[in-house]
Amino acid sequence: MKILVLNCGSSSLKFALIELPNYKVLTSGNEERVGINDSFITFRNPEGKKIERHLDIPNHTRGVEIILDILKEEHFVESFDEIDAIGHRLVHGAERFAQSVRITPEVVDMLHECAQLAPLHNPANILGIEAVTKVLPNTPQVGVFDTAFHQTMPEHAYMYGLPYEFYDKYRIRRYGFHGTSHDYVSAKGAEIAGLDRASCKIVTAHIGSGASMAAVLNGKSIDTSMGLTPSEGLMMGTRAGDIDSGVIEYLMNKKDYDPEFLAPFLKKATPGKTHLDLEDLTFLLTKKSGVAGISTKGSDMRDVAKAAEEGSKRDLLALSMHAYRIKKYVGAYAAALGGIDLLVFTAGVGENRAALRTEVCQGLEFLGIKLDESINEVTYGGKSQVISAADSRVKVVVVATDEEYMIARDTYDILNK
């Protein structure tokens, strides 16, 4: 069975064509900087050679079309009829979806209803579904939800300190995201480190343009940094992360902004506007903040790191703030778990930026965390490995996350029940 997996992130689109039940990746790749200048796609051709093409990818709809064109052009399939199913990573389904589901028009309607909970992701996920439906209207599609792995969180971890009635009526609570990744890398990381996930304490750090962390106790998620939406928690590529709610009140109550100052931070061009409304504020906190808000070079960490190396104080500050937030969560989750046996780094930045891992781990020796910098600084190249020192009580591992496998597995299982 050939399954095309689509993993639409806020500014990326990962894909893989996978054969199951005998797991075989026919090709995989990634579109990066989707909706940003200098977008490009990388993928493996039939000979296994990595191909990179720079082309305009203005949105996720066009991104899906490009992927399908490449599958035929490179003869991974001679006809789209050879694609038996599409598996989608879906971010938020509130409490409506606690497990993977076959996608129907009714499911898509419910995803639209939940879009305000994940304004950067659910719309991208829906575009992926709609783009596939146009080209492959008869091919079954399955949605695999980010929130599923975190359904094991105890009530005291997922509830907010709001009046209980708001949960009872509107289900306002922490849901958590990147669940397929946290599930996969906690298991794979434990395997690489020679530990039994079912009997150890693990902190996982999924650090990409979007970023989250999880506390995993004996194989079950007991806490995670993202909340009702994917905006809470760590400082991310364009998202502010944890912020005092009083800041929001202050920004909305201010009515005398200089229109020229305000213009770059508005979702819609509105000449002469001197205040922020709720739509503007959501845009500000999810699209104009985080690393992009502090740095001079936007949200791509490669650009920010280069500018910092060249002496930009703002870019250096962006890197320091980004790493500091991760370090704080490592400490918090070590406390929640009652100790830590394993720390796992994954996703684009977590896997590829050695300096980030160094900055996060420095000062955590009191927890038993110590890196072997001779290993940590080696070009990563996609190889999962232990990077902690031989005398480190806590194992530290870099794991190449494989959300695509997890999505393909669930898609296969749903369609073969």
Would you say 14 is a known binding-site residue? yes
Residue 61, pLDDT score: 82
Residue 192, pLDDT score: 96
Would you say 7 is a known binding-site residue? yes
- pLDDT band, very low/low/confident/very high, at 379 (cuts 50, 70, 90): low
Confidence (pTM):
0.85
Higher model confidence: residue 124 or residue 333?
333
Catalytic residues: 146
The single-letter DSSP state of residue 197 is G
Please give the average per-residue pLDDT across 133-161, as a whole number.
Answer: 93
Residue 124, pLDDT score: 83
Q: Residue 303: which of 18, 33, 31 has the closest Cα?
A: 33
Residue 304, pLDDT score: 97
- pLDDT band, very low/low/confident/very high, at 275 (cuts 50, 70, 90): very high
- pLDDT band, very low/low/confident/very high, at 381 (cuts 50, 70, 90): low
Please give the average per-residue pLDDT across 327-348, as a whole number.
Answer: 97
Q: Residue 201: which of 184, 218, 214 has the closest Cα?
A: 218
Would you say 350 is a known binding-site residue? yes
Query: pLDDT > 90: what percent of the chain?
Result: 78
Would you say 208 is a known binding-site residue? yes
Per DSSP, the residues of 383-411 read --EE-B-TT-SBEEEE----HHHHHHHHH
Residue 164, pLDDT score: 98
Q: What's the Cα-to-Cα distance from 94 to each of 109, 117, 118, 170, 310, rounded to whole Å?
A: 13, 8, 10, 10, 44
Please give the average per-residue pLDDT across 121-145, as a whole number.
Answer: 88
Residue 380, pLDDT score: 59
Which residues does residue 345 pair with via DSSP β-bridges, in sequence order?
Answer: 205, 398
pLDDT at 44 over 70: yes
Would you say 207 is a known binding-site residue? yes
Contact, 291 vs 299, CB < 8 A? yes
Written as one letter, the residue type at 327 is K
Please give the average per-residue pLDDT across 265-280, as a whole number.
Answer: 93
- Written as six digits, the tokens of 378 are 């080696």
* Alpha-helical segments (H) within 114-150: 122-135
Please give the average per-residue pLDDT across 265-288, as a whole number.
Answer: 93
pLDDT at 271 over 80: yes
Would you say 143 is a known binding-site residue? no
Please give the average per-residue pLDDT across 263-267, as a whole number.
Answer: 93
Please give the average per-residue pLDDT across 102-119, as a whole number.
Answer: 86
Per-residue pLDDT tens for 92-110? 877 778 789 999 999 999 8
Residue 280, pLDDT score: 95
Q: Count CA atoms closer than 13 A to 225's CA, side-chain side.
A: 31
Residue 135, pLDDT score: 82
Per-residue pLDDT tens for 61-88? 888 889 999 999 999 999 999 999 999 9
Written as one letter, the residue type at 269 is A
